[in-house]
Amino acid sequence: MSDLNTAMAAKYRANFLKEVEAVVEEGETVKMCMQCGVCAGSCPLGKHWAHPPQEIFMMIRAGKRDEVLKSDSMWMCTSCYNCIVRCPRGVQITHVMHGLAYYAKRLGVVPEGQPTQQVSQLFWDNLMKGGRVNELKLGLSIYFKDGFGDGIKNAMANQKLGMNMMKAGRMSPMEFLSGHTIKDNAGFQKIIKKAQEIEDAKFDGAAK
C-alpha cells in the first residue's frame, strides 16, 4: 500500500462513502443513487464493465474500498454522458467514474497493465512535453506500448488512417524528429507545476 492509500484508508476507516464524497470528483452525488440501474443499461460499453456504475455505488456504500479502487470498471467510461442524462437522481456518473479512476491512480492501486490507464498516461506524458499533443509520437507510443512486435502490427493495421491524416495535414512526419511546442512552454510547465502542487496539497490535507 502506498503511504497515501494507507493514510486515506485509516482516516475514513469503514466509511468509504465519506471518503468518496470528500476526495472524488462529484463524489457527493453518489449517495443519491437508488439502484435503478438505468446508468448501466444506457452505457454503450456496458457489457465490458465488471461492475456497472450503480453496483460500484452500492459497493462504495458497502465499504468495499479495495474492490472498487482496484477495479478496472471505471476505466471503461468513454465520457458519452448517456448515464448522466438518464440518471433520475442527478448522480454525476461520468465524473464520478473519472474521479474514482483518478483517485485510484493517485493511490497507486490501478491494476497492472490496465490499458485505458496506460493510454491516459502516455497521452499525459506526451502532452506535458511541449504543451501540445504530438499526434505522431502519441500514436506510435500507443502502438508500441506492449513491445516492438505488437507495435509493428498495430502500425501496419492503422497505416491507412495515418496516411489520410498526413494527407489532410492533421499529422506531419516531421513531428517524429523534433515536434513543435507551444509558444511559451516554460510558462506552461510552471502552470502545470503549480497545479500539481495544489492537487498534491489537497490530497496531503485530505489524508490528515
* Contact flag: residue 187 with another protein (CB under 8 A): no
* Contact flag: residue 206 with another protein (CB under 8 A): no
CA distance 199 to 46: 31
End-to-end C-alpha distance for the chain, whole angstroms:
17
Q: What is the DSSP letter of 71?
A: -
* Contact flag: residue 108 with another protein (CB under 8 A): no
| Of positions 4, 12, 23, 54, contacts another protein by CB under 8 A | 54
Burial label for 70, CB within 10 Å (0-12, 13-18, 19+), is: middle
The single residue listed with the C-alpha cell 472498487 is 68
* Contact flag: residue 41 with another protein (CB under 8 A): yes
CB 37 within 8 A of CB 89: no
| Identity of the residue, 89 or 180, whose beta carbon is nearer to another protein in the bound complex | 89
Nearest distance in Å: CB 158, another protein? 31
> Per CB under 8 A, which region of 81-89, 104-112, 166-174, 183-191 contacts another protein?
81-89
Nearest distance in Å: CB 90, another protein? 5
| Of positions 7, 11, 15, 133, contacts another protein by CB under 8 A | 15
CA distance 188 to 203: 23
| Identity of the residue, 45 or 152, whose beta carbon is nearer to another protein in the bound complex | 45
* Contact flag: residue 90 with another protein (CB under 8 A): yes
CA distance 45 to 152: 28
Vertex 100, ends 47 and 38: CA angle to 5°? 40
Q: Which residues form the interface with another protein (CB under 8 A)?
A: 15, 17-18, 21, 31-32, 34-38, 40-42, 46-47, 51-52, 54-55, 58-59, 61-62, 85-86, 88-90
